[in-house]
């Protein structure tokens, strides 16, 4: 007999706790309406060349990027800049920060010791902790890495 009354009391306590949790959930859902879920800021950008032109004087290489992680959005006041490691090349970046254009001057020749590289940076005044720095290397691998193999018949 005593076990039945204890079981009944435990059931009543669980029912009461469950009702209170439902009430708390309802209140939190109403509060959440006033605080939209923040959008994640990008942590990097993946660039791909869309023109597929060689790194040679007279060519204009265009790279398009996507923010990583997928679906992330930069702060609304994001500012972008791009520089080149070669003073003869002055790349540009569009207002979205996702299109980098590198016009290579006619007659320009890439350094044999320092391959061409662009550094695209991003920052925000409203979110000073958010910054990006991405390096685009349109040229061949650095000197020292094989770029091809030549075979000759030996027997």
- Most confident listed range (10-24, 32-46, 98-112, 140-154): 98-112
Looking at the structure, tell me whether residues 72 and 96 fall in a common domain.
yes
Looking at the structure, tell me whether residues 33 and 49 fall in a common domain.
no
With beta carbons less than 8 A apart as the criterion, state whether 81 and 51 touch.
no
- The pLDDT value given to residue 38: 63
Looking at the structure, tell me whether residues 87 and 108 fall in a common domain.
yes
**Model pTM score:** 0.65
- pLDDT-derived band of residue 150, with 50, 70 and 90 as boundaries? low
- Domain hosting residue 55, numbered range: 44-136
Quote the CA–CA distance of 149 and 132 in Å, as a whole number: 37
Looking at the structure, tell me whether residues 56 and 122 fall in a common domain.
yes
Tell me the per-residue pLDDT of 45-96, one tens digit each, with 9 for 90 and over. 888 888 788 889 999 999 999 999 888 999 999 999 999 999 999 999 999 9
Query: Within 10 A of 58 (CB to CB), how many other CB atoms are there?
Result: 11
What average pLDDT score do residues 10-31 get? Answer: 85
Tell me the per-residue pLDDT of 107-137, one tens digit each, with 9 for 90 and over. 999 988 888 999 999 999 999 999 999 999 8
Per-residue three-class SS string for the chain: CHHHHHHHHHHHHHHHHHHHHHHHHHHHHHHHCCCCCCCCCCCEEEEEECCCCCCCCCCEEEEEEEEECCCCCCCCCCEEEEEECCCCCCCEECCCCCEEEEECCCCCCCCCCCCCCEEEEEECCCCCCCEEEEEECCCCCCCCCCCCCCCCCCC
Looking at the structure, tell me whether residues 27 and 89 fall in a common domain.
no
């Amino acid at each position: 007999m005593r076990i039945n009354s204890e079981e009944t009391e435990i059931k009543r306590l669980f029912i009461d706790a469950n009702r209170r949790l439902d009430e708390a959930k309802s209140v939190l859902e109403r509060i959440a309406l006033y605080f939209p879920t923040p959008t994640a800021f990008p942590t990097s950008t993946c660039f791909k060349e869309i023109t597929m032109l060689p790194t040679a004087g007279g060519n204009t290489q265009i790279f398009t990027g996507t923010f990583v992680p997928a679906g992330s959005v930069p702060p609304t006041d994001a500012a972008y800049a791009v520089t080149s490691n070669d003073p003869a090349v002055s790349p540009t970046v569009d207002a979205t920060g996702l299109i980098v254009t590198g016009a290579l001057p006619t007659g320009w020749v890439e350094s044999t010791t320092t391959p061409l590289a662009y550094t695209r940076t991003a920052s925000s005044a409203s979110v000073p902790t958010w910054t990006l720095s991405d390096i685009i290397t349109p040229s061949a691998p650095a000197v020292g890495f094989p770029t091809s193999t030549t075979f000759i018949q030996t027997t």
